[in-house]
Amino acid sequence: MIGSDPIFRALGDPTRRAVYERLAAGETNVASLTAGLHVSQPAVSQHLATLKSAGLVRERRDGRRTYYRVEPEGLAPLVDWVARTSAFWPERIERLKELLERMDP
């Protein structure tokens, strides 16, 4: 298994990715997140919950307000996937070259 993590599912949704991108620009709340997106506030809250359970987003309560920001460590599985995949293909390409030498023309 090269990459197995909820972050791949969490970031697979375009709206959720848009929410994540906005949070990457800085901490904010649900209302201001919703303002720029063509989805309802409950939908944004749902997306935030998914991002949170995937470890991509962290929340902070300040009185009655809740603020959200990205969890920097959250992307680590994706970074791992990139590292593993970057090692995988050059090795397989070498195997392909060896196979091509053995194959009939």
Partner 1 sequence: MTAEDLVFDAELDAAPEKVWRALAEPALREAWLGDGGEVIESHPHERLVLRWTRDEPPSLVTFDVRPVEGGGAHLTIVHSPACADVLTITSRRPVAAPGSWRMAA
Q: Which of 81, 80, 104, 84 is nearest to 92 (CA)?
A: 84
**For the window 53-72, what string marks contact with partner 1 as x by the rule CB under 8 A?**
-----------------x--
Contact 34/41 with Cβ under 8 angstroms?
A: yes
Q: Which of 22, 25, 46 is nearest to 35 (CA)?
A: 22
**Nearest-5° Cα angle at 26, 21 to 27:** 110
Give 12's DSSP letter. Answer: T
Hey, which residues between 6 and 35 contact partner 1 (CB under 8 A)? 7-14, 17, 20-21, 24
- 44 touches partner 1 by CB under 8 A: no
Of the candidate spans 35-43, 45-53, 61-69, 96-104, the one that interacts with partner 1 by CB under 8 A turns out to be 96-104
Binding stretches for partner 1 (CB under 8 A) = 1-4, 7-14, 17, 20-21, 24, 70, 75, 78-79, 81-82, 85-86, 89-90, 92-93, 95-100, 103, 105
